[in-house]
Chain A
Amino acid sequence: MSDKPQKIGQEAAAARPAKRGAKRDQHGWRETLRAYGRSHKASLHDSVGRLWAQPISTLLTWLVMGIALSLPMGMGLLLDSLEKLGGSWQRAAQISVFLELRLPEAESQALSLRIADMAHVADVELISREQALAEFQQQSGLGEALKELPENPLPALIVVTPKEVERAGLEALLSELQGLPGVAQAQLDLAWVERLAAMLSLGQRFVFGIALLLIAGLLLVVGNTIRLAIEGRRQEIEVIKLVGGTDGYVRRPFLYIGVLYGFGAGLIAWVLLAFGLSWLNDAVVRLAGLYQSDFALIGVPVEEGLLLMLGSVMLGYCGAWLAVGRHLRELEAQVQ
């Protein structure tokens, strides 16, 4: 090591045995990249160290964030589970289309195909007059007696499952079906279907609102925690700036702290949700069993969990970024 002062650029180049031309440029470029990587590694290491040095406060921050995250996420997953029930709700919203008594079999078939092609129809099922009679015989227990009738009194029936469970759409569909030639009557029981749909949309809105509030709250929590960290390291930041640390360098450890908060909080939320939902599920399955349903909660699918982690990390990062941006500017004014 020579005592001669050098400019930094010259120093980096001189640190290695000189090679010619492009080779040397490449070295400089690689060394710059390596220096950048090392600097990131050091910042991350430093941030992990700082969180580790204050385990209680770190854990508390993780818990606060994790719990806050798990609430909307959990409710969202519950709604997803309920929407899976949507299948049976759609069945509840089925429209029974009674055909004219005298409609020939072939025309009933054609009509059912036509209805199946309609935009808002998910599924159709044609029940011919014979099938209807057979079913009725079975269900009513009047089997032999009905055989005495001179003629089958039952019309053919098309059971239509609509795509959406929403009042305006259903009513439009109903009147459209009503107007088809060969249709005697179309029937729908809307009241409870509508109630369910309304509850679902209310639930979704509620979850969305809560999620927004909690996200704002989390940004504040992270921001405030980072602000305190910045206050505590004011002197260090001043010195770093004096010896040539860039804004990016000053910001980096705090951004890492934000990311680490987000990561830990995401993990905690995931674990809370997994346990919470499986605990609820026991009760739900028992209840569903009483109603002859095999309904069960979905749990936390891996993709959703990963998304949760990603979102949480982003939240931590953004919270930190906002706090650092603001306080760096304040510090800037005071360094001088």
Chain B
Amino acid sequence: MIRFEQVGKRYPNGHTGLVDVSFRVHRGEMVFVTGHSGAGKSTLLKLILALEKADAGKILLAGQDISEITHAQIPFLRRQIGVVFQNHRLLPDRSVFENVALPLQILGLSREQMTKRVHAALDKVGLLRKEKCLPQDISTGEQQRVGIARAVVHKPALLLADEPTGNLDPRLAAEIMGLFEDFHRAGTTVLVASHDLALIARMRHRLLTLQRGRIIGDGESG
């Protein structure tokens, strides 16, 4: 599903993002990426999303080489991926329903298809009752769950999350991780960047450890 071959990324200001990173993630796998602040976790996810361009190596996503991707192809790449951010990035002036519907709107789905899918996604994160609320009127944990619903509403093959539990207390964080495990069990490939080692240790999944842009560990968590 994901394949990095000797990928390097250096930012224009001289900071090192990644150095000679190679790994493979198979379809349906669930993988944690961890490491200290500045280790390159976000950089790794940004490269997959084509938010940044690698300056060395090759990145293959479902067989497609995204280091060679054209500007016009990027949106279609992103439509196959769901992303969850630490600060959820919900649009404040749109209801929960409309926020979750955004990726479907882009695809031009009909109203009824859209409603069906949004309801299904909200149901999975347990927020069906809050569909008419504005993001500011629900709790932080709920906001993050709406963000997850938006990431999965178009049923992406790959789900990426960058510090999805960063702002949450441990109980909520565990709940959110539980959601990712649900999607993993349903067949989605899941890649979660997090430095919450305590939380990761309680789940048995593959763990990639980064340090100053290099992979220094690849094994089972826990």
Contacts and interface: CB of A to CB of B under 8 A. Distances in A.
Interface of A: 1, 3-8, 11, 15, 34-39, 42, 235-236, 238-247, 249, 335-336
In order of increasing CB-CB distance, the 4 nearest A-B pairs are: A35-B108, A244-B79, A3-B186, A39-B108
A300 B193 CA distance: 66
Given A5-B186, A239-B89, A239-B91, A244 B108 contact: no
Nearest to A239: B89
Interface stretch (B152-160, B172-180, B194-202): B152-160
A11 to B, nearest CB: 6
A14 to B, nearest CB: 10
Contacts, number: 89
A239 B102 contact: yes
A38 B108 contact: yes
A254 B78 CA distance: 23
B41 interface: no
Contacts of B49: 242
- Majority DSSP secondary structure for residues of A touching B: helix
Interface string B29-72: 00000000000000000100101100000000010000000001
Contacts of B91: 235-236, 239
Interface of B: 46, 49, 51-52, 62, 72, 75-80, 83, 89, 91-92, 102-103, 105-110, 113, 116-117, 120, 150, 154-157, 183, 186-189
A11 B102 contact: no
Contacts of A8: 79-80, 107, 154
A242 B79 CA distance: 9
A16 to B, nearest CB: 11
B108 A36 contact: yes
Contacts of A335: 51
Contact of A35 (B78, B107, B120, B187): B107
A38 B75 contact: no
A245 B150 CA distance: 14
Q: Which of B52, B91, B92 has the most CB of A within 10 A?
A: B91
B117 A1 contact: yes
Given A235-B89, A239-B91, A249-B106, 12 more contacts: A5-B157, A11-B155, A36-B108, A236-B91, A241-B75, A242-B89, A243-B102, A243-B154, A244-B106, A244-B107, A335-B51, A336-B46
